Structure 1
Amino acid sequence: MGKLIVKILVSAVAICIAALLSPMTVSNYSSAVVAAIVIGILDWLITKFTGIDASPKGRGAIGFITAALILYITGKIVDGFSTGIIGAFIGAFILGIVDAVIPPDKRPM
């Protein structure tokens, strides 16, 4: 359980970093935490039902597009987190870079 909490918190930090560097907006850290949880759930659902791993890093064009779509949908669901289509693509790119530098045991969901 502790490992999951660390992953959620690290994911929230990665979302905040992406929001600083892209057109995405996050109103506060709690919105980033909720967004991280929603992104994790959407990623799990898409992987479960389609087999597509929605990671923007190292999964090719389909994974990148799926990650951007997840960010866009999350922006529609979570209060305090918003992004447009362009922001979702830029955010997916930035999250892929952040994912590349975070140690494997602490990587975002």
Structure 2
Amino acid sequence: MQFLGHVVRFIVSALVLMLVGWIVPQFSVGGFGSALLLALVIAGIGWIIESVFGARVTPFGRGIVGFLVSALVIYLAQFIITDVRVTILGALLAALVIGIIDLFIPLAAPFDSTRAEKK
């Protein structure tokens, strides 16, 4: 069931990224496949950042640092996924919209064991 939970989280994350691409004018995702790859890349970069800097400076963290790191991760991911186009302002707006959506549909990071242990 753990694996299926991760798959569902990535699918929902990809759908959220497609919704953000529709809402935010300077953020575009080519299609569902690109959005799924983008979700994987964001999770991977987030894991690397958490490994290097600790849990307080993650794209999934709260506060201004987490928001800015999230925008940076979204901006850097465009250089890895070919069908993603985003400007710096688009990355900031996308991070804001993703943060707002996360208030209503909380998605824990697939690698985040601290949230899973609290439940």
**What TM-score do you get using the length of structure 2 for normalisation?**
0.83
Partner of 2:22: 20
Runs (4 or more) in structure 1 with deviation over 4 Å come to none
Pairing 1:45-84 to 2, within 5 Å after superposition? 45-51=48-54, 52-55=57-60, 59-84=62-87
Instruction: Look up the match of 1:6.
Output: 8
Q: Which runs of 5+ in 1 are unaligned?
A: none
CA offset at residue 53 of structure 1?
A: 2.2
Alignment of 1:65-104 (within 5 A): 65-102=68-105, 104=106
RCO comparison, higher one (Cα < 8 Å, 6+)? 1
Q: What is the root-mean-square deviation in Å for CA atoms of aligned residues?
A: 1.2
Higher Rg of the two aligned structures? 2
Gaps of 5+ in 2: 110-119
Aligned residues: 104
Alignment pair present for 1:43 and 2:42: no
More helix by share: 1
